[in-house]
Structure 1
Amino acid sequence: MAEPQIQIEEPLINPNHTQEEESNNPTLDRVIHRLEAFLFIFGFHQCSFLTIVLSWAAFLLLGVVIPVLTIELSSCSDCSKVQITNFELFILASQASLAAVSLLGVSHNLRKYGVRRFLFVDRFHGQTIRFRKEYVEKIEDFFHVLVWWILPCFLLKTAREIIRLVYVHQESWWQTVGIFLALVVSWTYLTTIFLSACSLFYLVCNLQCIHFEDYGKLLERDSDAPKLLEEHMLLRHHLSKISHRFRIYLLVAFLVVTASQFVTLFHTTGYRGIITFINGGDFAVSSIVEVVGIILCLHAAAKVSHRAQGIASVACRWHALVTCSSTDPSQLRATNSAGNLEADAPYTIPVNYSESDLESLDNVALPTNPQFASYMSSYHKRQALVMYLQSNPGGLSIFGWTVDRALISTIFFIELSLALFVLGKTIVFTSK
């Protein structure tokens, strides 16, 4: 389904910032080129038919064929007690499924929009220069987050494979080393693809947080309600774009991780033997990787949703401060029962009047104060903006469900209920 197209004029653009100035930004260009190179190496940047074929061929070779052959070659006839082969094939299936979903979802968006439009770093043109420092920091954080999450899992995976090869020894050392390298390289490839997709979504949401924080600052220095309304409509429009581009990936990845976790729970609790680090270590490593990826996605989505929903409270405070600071006691008298401000007129209508007197006043034009009319116009514009923000809190959504703290709490209790159900079906204590 195609994305909804909304034509909104780009606000807050500095006319002094030209396209030539934007292109003369070596720092931002350098980090974007480094990101493009990284995505190209791991097969995300599929810009032509040749790159598509090479990317998926590398995925099938490194992510499916080599690990399957390695697991079959490393099995032994006298290791039936540990059930290593059956466990590892299931773990490989879940890892390959997540990597395939990640590669397909990200490569489709990159091929359709390109890196800059995918990250929304060129949508404000002049603001690209204004936010270039924040852009560079967030893109560099992408690599930091990826390394800091992959490195401990890589060390744990390496330790597990070393212990496993010591226990399930082969006939020759070169075969043992080959099996070790094949398993570690394949795992690293699949894990990097999955966590890279999650980190890219995390990066896109963090870049949007920059603009929501700037919008909150804009409320403190600007009282032009129409311009603020237009800016917020643009922010909501781009949040809807992000939701549309990632909703299928997030939903499928979450379902695959959920299914993998509960099948893992079935395997470990239903197994009659002893679960050790040798036969069950990969369960722990794969579970950590999958949970980390989902946490990155949910945290990023909830963060940007929280920023978007917090704008309404900031606007209410801004509206109150502007209203109180702009009230002139000599022109504004009090508030009526409806909360509207009234002006001190040069004369007042008598309280005691007959019906005929009131009818005679219907055709009398009351004197108006231009300053008061201007103030009321500004007041109503701000009030309309605040009501709009309160009625449209925004946030990143998946098929209509806004990803915020309430949804995360709901997901947690659903997962807990499913886990307890699985435990109730597998762990049974009898008196016999």
Structure 2
Amino acid sequence: MAVAYPQTDNSSSTTQIPLIYEDQGDEAHLSKSLNHLGTFLRVFGFCQYSFLSLILSWLSFLLLGIALPAVMIEYLSHCTHCKKYQISSFEIQVLVFQSLAATISLACISHNLRKYGIRKFLFVDRFHGHMAQYRDEYVKKINGFFRLLAVWLLPFLVLKTIREAVRVIYAPHHSWGQSVGILIALVVSWTYTITIYLSGCALFNLVCNFQVIHFENYGKLLERDLDVTQYIEEHIRLTHYLSKISHRFRIFIVLELLVVTASQVVALFQTTWHSEIINLVNGGDFVISSIVELVGLIISLQAAAKITHRAQGTGSVAAKWHSLVTCASDDTAANPSNLLHINYSESDLEAVDYVPVPTTTQLASYMSSYHKRQAFVMYLQANPGGFTVFGWRVDRTLINTIFFLEISLVLFVLGKTVTLYHS
């Protein structure tokens, strides 16, 4: 007796298997990008997961970022014919503030990575990380992290190399080999320090961009027919993540702002009080370091303002959604006018128009849905969210305020120093 096996649909099986492989491939792609990011952070000493890695990280920073350039500056200060092209006080000031900025970046980022790990640090949790559309966006943002570093670091590296090469040409040492060795040592040390500083700022930018993805897709969530409580729960979770980000990075933002401001003020004092001629050879480090520090600060503040802007925009998106649902003419559950359907009779027996009264259940259902949406919109408007620093919300208004305060401070100090110098 022949056994009849159930026939299988080959077409359906062939369509299901690629979906599984595609999902696994997307997850593998995200894991690969995170591994590349982790390798980069490990090379520059951010991943201090053990006591040995912590010691090696800070020892490398002390040797390459502080000791090596300090020795080179001290060696160059004894050159008798180099004083015209080498001002030791300028070089020391640049080294001190660059080291402070890099130290803050290394300490804050390594502390968070050691405490949470790279996935929790970036908030690539299982709820969002296992959704295909978010995984693709995560990979793009991680690639954008490396592009951001390359776009800003490479031009500064070229400027630094040109500046050091010009100084070697105008003030050569006993041998060209010695001059080239000093040039390479200074450029390598500077690149290492600046990479650590900009990496910390770019990582904060990456964390904020991940949350921007969620807020931009929050409007798409409203297009789905879900209960209002689910929308509120999703928004509560997003604002909770913003609160965590604010708590983890508020010290980083404040300290970087103070260091950059102090660096500009000290540079202003030294350049205005210096009695000799300042040119791009002996004062070029001031220009390069000032631009680098300001770029890092702008990257951080721009990311904080962007995520605040997206978070505050959810209120307007929800209000628009509430208005469209309420005014939808083809939805009887959303428009009470459709419930009041008027029938005009031409019969002589009916002297008045018949208006069927909507049932209590229909009115109660509509009013309940309307009040839920209204409460949801009021909740979003009362809780705009955003990145905060000790209660101060970092938005575009605050950034403009900081900018004008910085300009006012620089102009005030400049006026005082010019007056004191001429007097």
Q: For residue 41 of structure 1, what is the amino acid of its counterpart?
A: V
* Partner residue, 1:9: none
1:396 paired with 2:387, answer: yes
CA offsets 1:221-248 (integer angstroms, 9 cap, x no match): 3352111000000000000000001000
Give the aligned length. 386
2:196 to 193, 196, 202: 193
Aligned to 1:329: 337
Structure 1: distance between partners of 2:254 and 2:355: 62
Paired with 1:85 and 1:405, the residues of 2 have a C-alpha distance of: 39
Q: Deviations for 1:165-214, whole angstroms, at most 9, x for unmatched residues? A: 11221111121111001100000000000000000001011110100011
Q: 1:289 aligns with which of 268, 292, 317?
A: 292
Q: Tell me how far apart the structure 1 counterparts of residues 157 and 267 of structure 2 sit (CA, whole Å).
A: 20
Match of 1:258? 261
Moved more, 309-318 or 222-231: 222-231
| Structure 2 counterpart of 1:308 | 311
The separation in 2 between residues aligned to 1:431 and 1:74, in whole angstroms, is 31
Range that drifts further, 156-165 or 217-226: 217-226
The yes-or-no answer on 1:243 pairing with 2:251 is no
Shift of 1:317: 0.5
Counterpart residue number, 1:160: 163
Cα offsets for 1:236-276 (capped at 9, x unmatched): 00000000010001110110011001111111122222110
Structure showing greater relative contact order (alpha-carbon pairs closer than 8 Å, 6 or more residues apart) = 1
CA–CA separation in structure 1 for the residues paired with 2:391 and 2:101: 24
Counterpart CA distance in 2 for 1:384 and 1:423 is 53
Residue of structure 2 in register with 1:4 after alignment: none
Change (3 A) 1:430 1:277: closer
- Whole-Å Cα distance in 2 between the matches of residues 296 and 108 of structure 1? 21
* 1:120-175 C-alpha deviation (Å, 9 max, x unpaired): 11241564434111010000000000001000000000000001111221111121
Residue 32 of structure 1 pairs with residue 34 of structure 2: yes
For 1:430 and 1:202, how far apart are their aligned partners in 2?
Answer: 41
Aligned AA for 1:218? Answer: L
Unmatched 5+ stretches in structure 1: 1-16, 334-343, 348-366
Q: What is the TM-score normalised by the length of structure 2?
A: 0.87
Report the equivalent of 1:362: none
Q: CA deviation at 1:26?
A: 1.5
Q: Which residue of the other structure, out of 387, 392, 404, is the alignment partner of 2:378?
A: 387
RMSD value, Cα: 2.3
Cα deviation, 1:12-57, whole Å, max 9, x if unaligned, reads xxxxx99xx6797221111100000000000000000000000000
Matched, 1:61 2:63: yes
TM-score in terms of structure 1 length = 0.85
For 2:241 and 2:24, locate their aligned partners in 1 and report how far apart those are by CA, in whole Å. 21
State whether residues 122 and 128 of structure 1, in contact with CA within 8 Å, keep that contact through their aligned partners in structure 2. no
Q: Is the 8 A contact 1:309 1:393 kept in 2?
A: yes
| Aligned partner letter, 1:377 | S
Runs of 4+ with >6 A deviation: 21-24, 344-347, 429-432
Alignment partner of 2:107 out of 90, 104, 108: 104
CA apart distance, 1:74: 1.9
What is the correspondence of 1:43-62 to structure 2 with a 5 Å cutoff? 43-62=45-64
Partner of 2:411: 420
Q: CA offsets, 1:59-92, max 9 Å, x none? A: 0000111100011112212444455211101100
Moved more, 279-288 or 125-134: 125-134
Question: SS of the residue aligned with 1:44?
Answer: coil
* Residues 309, 178 of structure 1: alpha-carbon distance in 2 compared, 3 angstrom cutoff: same
Report sequence identity in percent. 57
Amino acid at match of 1:26: A
Gaps of 5+ in 2: 1-18, 329-333, 342-353
Amino acid at match of 2:222: L
Equivalent residue, structure 2, for 1:299 = 302
Q: 1:330: how far off?
A: 4.3
Shift of 1:411: 0.3
What corresponds to 1:358 in structure 2? none
